[in-house]
Amino acid sequence: MICEVNGEPALAYWISYLELGFGGPVERQLYPYALKFEVAEVCGLIAVDANTFVQEMKLDFERTSDSYPQYLHDLGYPSIDNLVQNEGAFCETIRRYLYSELFGRCFPWSPPYRDVRWIISSVDAVRAHSGVIEVLGQAFRKVESHCNASR
């Protein structure tokens, strides 16, 4: 994975993400971020989650006849190996449903978060091109705690 925030390289351990309020308004200056993954890397990180999600959507359809999200229904509720062949559907699944699982594997929470500098607050787009999956959005600078300033 390659990480950039505000056009500058960033180490993965400098980054975390909002769990509560993700995608909502933020009263801090926002900076663009980009995460770039090889397709196989993304699949390895979220395969179990993606397959579980798709099967849950299939079961929901079988129980309720609700085909939401329609694109998964139209594709026959594919496994990740088949879903990745449809780049648009694969990217949409990450953008709308599996970004949290992806971030949880890329940026594990590890108190005391000393090294975290950036907090991801949104996923605005997920794109695929030339075997690369790119996750784009907004991040803000971590608010420093002054409680332990005497260290």
Q: What pLDDT, in 10s, does the model give residues 15-40?
A: 999 876 777 888 889 999 999 999 99
Lookup: tokens for 56 = 């849950």
Ordered by start, the domain boundaries in the chain are: 2-141
Contact 137, 95 (CB under 8 A): no
Lookup: tokens for 76 = 């026959």
pLDDT at 124: 96
CB atoms within 10 A of CB 30: 14
Distances (CA, A) of 68 to 54, 107, 126, 133: 11, 29, 20, 24
Q: What is the pLDDT of residues 71-86, one digit of tens each?
A: 999 999 999 999 999 9
Q: Which residue has the higher pLDDT, 151 or 28?
A: 28
120: β partners: 17, 139
At CA 105, angle to CA 145 and CA 103, rounded to 5? 60
- In eight-state DSSP terms, residue 95 is I
Lookup: tokens for 41 = 């890397």
Three-state DSSP at 4 gives strand
Three-state DSSP at 113 gives coil
